[in-house]
Amino acid sequence: MSTLDLMKELHRDKGGKIVLLVMDGLGGLPIEPGGPTELEAARTPNMDKLAAEGSLGQIIPVAPGVTPGSGPAHLALFGYDPLSHVVGRGVLEATGVGLRVNKGDVAARGNFCTVDPHGLIMDRRAGRIATDEAAPLVEKLRSIEIPGVAIELRHVREYRFAVVMRGDELQSAIEDTDPQQTGVAPLPALAIEPGSQKTAELFNMWIERAREMLSDQSKANALTLRGFSSDPALPPFPEIYGLRASCVAVYPMYQGVAALVGMQVEEFEGETPADEFSAVAAGWDKFDFFFVHIKKTDSRGEDGDFNAKARVIESVDAALPRLLDLKPDVLAITGDHSTPARLRVHSWHPVPFLLWAPATVRADDRRGFGESNCSGGGLGTFPSREIMSLLMAHAGRLEKYGA
């Protein structure tokens, strides 16, 4: 029996309220050997107090040494084995901007680019064209009609957009048309499996029309498509856990993953941690589970800015009392993966995990929230996909297994 099946069998429909606070890319590395990580350098009195009262551990998103993308890293946090449940980039992007990807649809992520008079790519991201210049181009492309299928487009931000094709017998085993280099032409959509041949041809027809339409544009006169993918048919989170689940996130992609598993994506004003915690407060009575996503830890890690990443963590800590005032029964603070500023990319390092649940936690002897303390914490080192059963237990939401 898989853990998801077990949760489906054991969950109670009543119990405490759970908050899963995810700071994207939280895990870090010291700049100098022996120094603190970003989280350890940050001044976090509130989290340190929770660490003292709670229990620490570290989580492995996919497998030791495996660096995850945002999709698999979040699926794991929600309890889905990311090696069994695969969500394509196109589906993530489309769902993130509110485009539904239903059974039988094929989604892709689109990038505007620039090509020279010979059709060879000059800039794969069209100079990161501004949102207000790119959005009208997406609008223009909406007029393209391909016989037998419906095509929906939505702008994401800057040079990025999402496309979803709906029709009969569509399949998504198609290679990216982005050649990942400049000086060559975009590739045609190429089917990897025979069943996807027809779909690839339909996309090529659409690409052809789109190129004609963009050819007189100065800022972005071509495009590439990547991450062709279909509905991953994930078992719904609310059914697995018996939780009314809410997502409070600023960035479309994370809203997209949450929507894919069936969480309710909240709309709210602002984008600071305090704004996000206020959104949690606004939905407090309507939901049992709150996934709260902080993006900027990851962004500053990818910038390679150690101090800025630490400051993002401090801003979350400073806003934390607003969340604690709600008196959650269970609060977990963690990341989806590590993004050490020193490396400037996602990494495979274990992610610090803090569990606070005043009624039932077995406190360990660790006093502050940071990588070193977490690596010796009472919860040990375990897969990210096992945190949900732990949170459920501490919320009093699981029946006993077996007699």
Residue ranges in contact with its own copies by CB under 8 A? 1, 3, 6, 10, 29-30, 33-34, 37, 53, 58, 62-73, 82-84, 86-89, 92, 227, 343, 345-350, 360, 362-365, 371-372, 375-382, 386-394, 398-403
Minimum separation from the CB atom of position 228 to its own copies (A): 12
CB 216, min distance to its own copies, A = 32
Closest distance to its own copies from the beta carbon of 106 (Å): 16
User: Starting at the edge strand that comes first in sequence, how are the strands of the sheet with 381-383 ordered?
Assistant: 264-265, 245-249, 289-294, 18-23, 330-334, 351-356, 55-60, 381-383
DSSP state of 128: G
* CA dist., res. 352 & res. 332, Å (int): 10
Minimum Å gap between C-beta 401 and its own copies is 5
Nearest distance from C-beta of residue 383 to its own copies, angstroms = 9
Angle between helices 70-77 and 252-260 (to 10 degrees): 50
Of the candidates 107, 106, 101, 227, the one whose C-alpha atom is nearest the C-alpha of residue 169 is 106
Identify the CA nearest to 301 among candidates 141, 52, 20, 70: 70
- CA-based nearest residue to 289, from 254, 316, 262: 262
Closer CB to its own copies, 40 or 276, in the complex: 40
Nearer Cβ to its own copies, position 219 or 342? 342
Q: Which residue, 273 or 370, has its beta carbon nearer to its own copies?
A: 370
With respect to its own copies, which residue has the nearer C-beta, 301 or 377?
377
Nearer CB in complex with its own copies: 74/115: 74
Environment class of 252 (CB within 10 Å of its CB; exposed 0-12, middle 13-18, buried 19+):
buried
Q: How far is the CB of 74 from its own copies (least distance, A)?
A: 10
Minimum CB separation of residue 63 from its own copies in Å reads 6
Minimum distance of its own copies from residue 314's CB (angstroms): 21
**C-beta closer to its own copies: residue 66 or 282:** 66
Q: Which is nearer to its own copies, 38 or 266 (CB)?
A: 38
Rounded to 5°, the CA angle 200-204-209 comes to 155
Residue 29 vs 294, nearer CB to its own copies: 29
Residue where the block lists tokens 């989290």: 47
The CB-based long-range contact list for 258-262 (8 Å cut-off, 24+ gap) reads 258/74, 258/291, 259/95, 259/96, 260/87, 260/91, 260/92, 260/95, 260/232, 260/234, 261/75, 261/78, 261/80, 261/234, 261/236, 261/237, 262/234, 262/236, 262/237, 262/238
